[in-house]
Structure 1
Amino acid sequence: MFYIVLLSFIAPLLVWGGFIVVADQADRRTVALNGVWVLIPLLILKLMQTYIWLPSRNPLSLLGANLVWGVATLVALYLLCKANTDSHFGRALTLASGLLALLLLVVAGGEAHSIFSVKPVAKSIQSKTVSSAAAPTFKKGVTPVALSPKTVKNRMNKNMSDVPNSQYFHLGDIQAQYYHGKPVYIAPVEFDGFFKYLSAKQRTPGYFIIDATSVSAEPKFVKKSMKYTNASYFNNNAQRHIYQDYPQWLVADNSEPQLEVDENGTPYYIETTYKSMALSHRINYSKLHVIAINAVTGATKLYKLGALPKWIDEGITSDVADYMNTAYGKYQRGWLNMHLSKTGIQVPTNSEVISTFDQQGRVQYFTDFTNPRSDADSALGYSMINARTGQLVYYKTHGIMDSDGAKNNADNNYKAQQWKSSMPVIYNINGKATWVLSILDSTSAFRGYYYINAADQSVHATGNNANEAVDNYRQALVDSGASAGNTSGVKPKTISGTVARAVVTTKGDNQVLLFTLSGSNTVYTADGSDFQKALLTQSGDRVQIKAYVVNQKAVGNVEKFVNLNLK
């Protein structure tokens, strides 16, 4: 950290030296002493600023620091020497001003390059575009559907009494990961302020862990004394410790370290880092690295993104994923297009990604994109970012609502209860893009899942757990006339029998026949616009049908209908 301060003071030292050189022989001692009185306070200020704010350490930032402190030194030294000596410092002022002007040109050029040269940032993201038909398919009993982090935090907060001296602490951010092959959420216990930090002897007692997909799961507190955390102070702060051990590596997108635990339960803080270009702040997402700090011992280690240990699931932190989505959606055609014509521009609907678990045992960050110039709740597509490798897969869609539209639809269905939806994620169910949302009450307690067809908001269903909700949703698709042939648990059946009950009713602009068969409780639906003779059916008629019936459901949608009595 000290060498960063010294590298920031090369220009001030040159300015000071210039004043000493041009001063008269009799005044050089005075000028030298004046420089000491100017530089020491500035060095102290810079040291404090560096320690507290942990400024960027790339060459452009160091040149910028030289420019700022050089100007401060020039002004202070000139005024002090002019008042205390008989020497004239016009030449020193000219040389110093020229040096600082050159620095200004270099810094301004680097800053301009960082701001305007954004297209390479988007191109550095490992990405591919696929059709929405290739989107992750929901498989009953296989696809992990995570609880909302709000629900998890609510449950963990209720268990803070398990924490020794809990009055000193509060719950930190919720993180997703796999632990012993199972999807879990973890959250650190953090200091509740500086004086609580001192009272707790500068160590937190541990972290909480909970099954991420079980609606009845209870959090478990793991006792593990942690010295190096995000909430620690001075040299025990995780980010400051990383800053000191790896000064040449920069924090990606101003993100904070995230907690992860290895298979032994040892806690680490994970930071996504990179090395910038010499005279630019521009980031290259294809060359990211990861620094892990042991929260107990403080030991740090640098990894290439492609060579992470197996227990690190989020080498790309969620903050970095947010910036990647923004860069991918806005920077593809450069800065001018981003601000003027905006051709092809799309923006994330929400500012924060959602952590999901896929069927291959990976954490994926989800977000959907919308048109920045439109008030319509339509999604242009959505992305999944592999939290371990950083690969972004973009699923291109059309004619579906965005996550805000899905949340509004769900919220409207629970106005009376004043419950709210959370954590909207798209899955492919029955070949249909489907929003899956968690329903929470006013205390963030989990109340159920809400599934809604992303292209047709009239088709939706609820359930107390993910499997019940998907069964109800598949039945809603069948009732709406959607094809269900490609979905497990919804297979066509050819059935012959005698009509026990029959009634013709209206559905929208069409008439439909509702009927049951002798010996069965299933209510079948036949659309009169497809089968006109079905509307003439009476009790006692023999029929032969082909229908989709969701397993364990009492409603069937008829695809083929023949009334044998009317042949």
Structure 2
Amino acid sequence: MIQMFIVSIVLALLFLPFHKTWWNTPLLKKWIPLRFTAGVIYGVLLFYVGLLDQSVTGVLTYYLPLFSLGLIVDSTLVFTFVKSFRKQSALIGAGIGAVLLILFVVFWLLQPLFLADQKYNMADGEEVTVDELNPVNEENIPVVPRSYAEYRSDILMGQLPNQAFYNLGTTRIQQHDGSLYWVTPIEYDGLFRWIRSDAAPGFIVVSAENPREEPQLIETPMTYVPSAYFHEDVNRHVRSAYPDVVMYDTHFEIDEDMNPHYIVSYGSYTEFRRVSDIEGVIIVDPVSGEMTQHTVEDTPEWVNRIFPPHIAEERNTWFGIYKSGIVNRFFGREGLTQPTYWGSDDGMTGVVDESLNLSWFTDHTRLTGEGEETSRSMIGFTMFDARTGELRYFRDASGSLNGRVAMDLAERTFRRDDYVAGTPSLYNVYGQYTWVVPLMDRNSVLREIMLVNARDENVFGYGDTKREAFGAYQLELATRTDEDIVPGELTDLEEITATVERVYQWDREDSVTVRFLLEDFDRIFTVSSSSYPRAVFLEPGDTVRIEFMDGGEEIQPVEEFEILN
């Protein structure tokens, strides 16, 4: 904090006039203390209020234009009020200021045109295939949208004795103890509430996997939070200890023992503040204010994200539009892509892999010009590792439905109910690219979960619970496609031989779906005549041998089917 004031005072010298005549003229001399004070205030606003990093590029960016304007104004005023001041000297002073200002503006406007290669290299995208997108266990696919988690958190916050003092902070998804949760810190509601409160009361945890699981209010008094003021503002607290780093993002996480922490992603700029480089995190204990700095490599495992979503979105854009340089970006536009525009929804969606590691997902469409209709199919999609910054581009999804189309299909399916689709996520479900789309009513209450096959919009399933939705989707895959259903390593292949107890046949447009019960098994098995024509002759009392992927669904599609008698 002391360093910040010293830097502000030193840089305030740039606000003083450089003409000796100014200092010797009584009319102008009386303004010198005011100008110096204005310089100090400007520095305090930049470094204390605005939390600007005290770096060379930061100082040049925010002080050089004002210094240049000062030369122009000073030379003009001295020439105006001091008759003995030579016109040539005034023109030289004003000219130097004008040249500096013009050079700065031209550099600032033209420099981005020469950074295409640097930005593309910083994105460092790698093209991969679907074989590297491992299937995810059904139980660990998040189906609870952020808006529903915020809705439930808001209700639970009503249990606080002085709930009018507080607001909900930003809700983030994270992994804890092998499951996914939405975690929301409780923040102050303004300056006067901060003055009257000793500490923020804690945080709220809502399951991202099970909408019926009760949320938890964890009461932990937190002093250093983003909504506090002066030295208790967590960002200002970090800036006072680390004045030179660039702070890119501050978010809330809990560790293995459910202790609260604020994670500040830090780094630096390259290419004169045009390209962001994440270097690590600063972990702040909001209770004690203790801080620890970590590089990307030595960040504790419980930290879910080091790279914030806006950095992921920025690098996705660079990877898509700068593949062949700046000329192709504006003229040829060959092979260029862009992340799908989500409107008011999240631009980057947090998804997890089989180890529950968080990645930022977005799908890519072909790059369209201004006024052109947005493509309805995706060229590919990316997974941006939130801890390492690794960007993987899955190119073999070309021709699949993009997320916007999946949302439209889900809303059309429930048009009568007037449900609104939340931000979809793409997963490898049963060996298929599948959009998982939550549907909410107008009050942000989760009503349905819908799975849409990315290759065929006619193959989808939905339900008001995750198990029901996945069971319906698996049934559609088994009856409407000829491809094998491959849930992956997390689901076991079961083989049984048993006697048929009951049979029901359902005539569809292009096939017959046969559903049957087996003795001593409490679930419904289903098989399509398009895959096994002899299934239409199944009768009670027959002995069958079947194989199926045991995902625990009540309606279980059959992979292999044989009538033994």
Q: What is the TM-score when the length of structure 2 is the normalising length?
A: 0.83
Name the Cα RMSD after superposition. 3.8
SS at match of 1:229: coil
Tell me, yes or no, if structure 1 residue 211 matches structure 2 residue 214: no
Partner amino acid for 1:260?
Answer: E
Q: Give the alignment partner of residue 300 of structure 1, picking from 291, 299, 316.
A: 291
Match in the other structure for 2:465: 465
Give, in angstroms, the shift of residue 311 of structure 1: 2.6
Task: Output aligned runs, 1:87-126, within 5 Å.
Answer: 87-90=84-87, 92-101=89-98, 103-104=100-101, 105=103, 108-109=106-107, 112-114=110-112, 116-126=114-124
Give, in angstroms, the shift of residue 543 of structure 1: 10
Give, in angstroms, the shift of residue 88 of structure 1: 0.5
Match in the other structure for 1:139: 137
Task: Output aligned runs, 1:483-502, within 5 Å.
Answer: 483-484=483-484, 486-487=486-487
Partner amino acid for 1:127?
Answer: G
Give, in angstroms, the shift of residue 460 of structure 1: 0.9
Tell me, yes or no, if structure 1 residue 382 matches structure 2 residue 374: no
Give, in angstroms, the shift of residue 519 of structure 1: 7.8
Match in the other structure for 2:529: 526
Tell me, yes or no, if structure 1 residue 320 matches structure 2 residue 311: yes
Give, in angstroms, the shift of residue 347 of structure 1: 1.7
The number of equivalent residue pairs is 544
Contact in 2 for aligned 1:502/1:539 (Cα 8 Å): no
Kindly provide the CA deviation profile for residues 246-283 of structure 1, in whole angstroms up to 9, marking residues without a partner as x.
Answer: 2221233xxx4111223344432222222223x61132
Q: Which moved more, 1:59-68 or 1:382-391?
A: 59-68
Query: CA separation of 1:432/1:504 partners in 2, compared to 1, >3 Å: closer, same or farther?
Result: closer
SS at match of 1:275: strand
Partner amino acid for 1:156?
Answer: S
Give, in angstroms, the shift of residue 378 of structure 1: 0.6
Match in the other structure for 1:193: 190
Match in the other structure for 1:436: 436
Give, in angstroms, the shift of residue 136 of structure 1: 2.9
Query: CA separation of 1:296/1:114 partners in 2, compared to 1, >3 Å: closer, same or farther?
Result: farther
Query: CA separation of 1:89/1:304 partners in 2, compared to 1, >3 Å: closer, same or farther?
Result: farther
Contact in 2 for aligned 1:545/1:559 (Cα 8 Å): no
Instruction: Tell me, in whole angstroms, the C-alpha distance in 1 between the residues paired with 2:500 and 2:357.
Output: 51
Kindly provide the CA deviation profile for residues 169-203 of structure 1, in whole angstroms up to 9, marking residues without a partner as x.
Answer: 111111122334443221111122233232325x3
SS at match of 2:119: helix
Partner amino acid for 1:422?
Answer: G
Query: CA separation of 1:7/1:359 partners in 2, compared to 1, >3 Å: closer, same or farther?
Result: farther
Contact in 2 for aligned 1:475/1:550 (Cα 8 Å): no
Kindly provide the CA deviation profile for residues 388-426 of structure 1, in whole angstroms up to 9, marking residues without a partner as x.
Answer: 221122212122101111111111111122222223111
Tell me, yes or no, if structure 1 residue 270 matches structure 2 residue 263: yes
Query: CA separation of 1:317/1:481 partners in 2, compared to 1, >3 Å: closer, same or farther?
Result: closer
Match in the other structure for 1:449: 449
Instruction: Tell me, in whole angstroms, the C-alpha distance in 2 between the residues paired with 1:504 and 1:262.
Output: 51
Instruction: Tell me, in whole angstroms, the C-alpha distance in 2 between the residues paired with 1:436 and 1:136.
Output: 16
Match in the other structure for 1:159: 156
Give, in angstroms, the shift of residue 386 of structure 1: 1.7
Match in the other structure for 1:171: 168
Give, in angstroms, the shift of residue 453 of structure 1: 0.8
Match in the other structure for 1:394: 393
Give, in angstroms, the shift of residue 313 of structure 1: 1.4
Match in the other structure for 2:358: 363
Contact in 1 for aligned 2:127/2:394 (Cα 8 Å): yes
SS at match of 1:507: coil
Partner amino acid for 1:213?
Answer: E
Give, in angstroms, the shift of residue 119 of structure 1: 2.5
Give, in angstroms, the shift of residue 455 of structure 1: 0.9
Give, in angstroms, the shift of residue 490 of structure 1: 9.1
SS at match of 1:187: strand
Contact in 1 for aligned 2:504/2:514 (Cα 8 Å): yes
Instruction: Tell me, in whole angstroms, the C-alpha distance in 1 between the residues paired with 2:540 and 2:35.
Output: 104
Q: Which moved more, 1:95-104 or 1:157-166?
A: 95-104
Contact in 2 for aligned 1:30/1:85 (Cα 8 Å): no
User: Percent identity over the alignment?
Assistant: 19
Uncovered stretches (5+) of structure 1, i.e. residues with no partner? none
Contact in 1 for aligned 2:142/2:180 (Cα 8 Å): no
Uncovered stretches (5+) of structure 2, i.e. residues with no partner? none
Partner amino acid for 2:479?
Answer: D
Q: Which moved more, 1:103-112 or 1:346-355?
A: 103-112
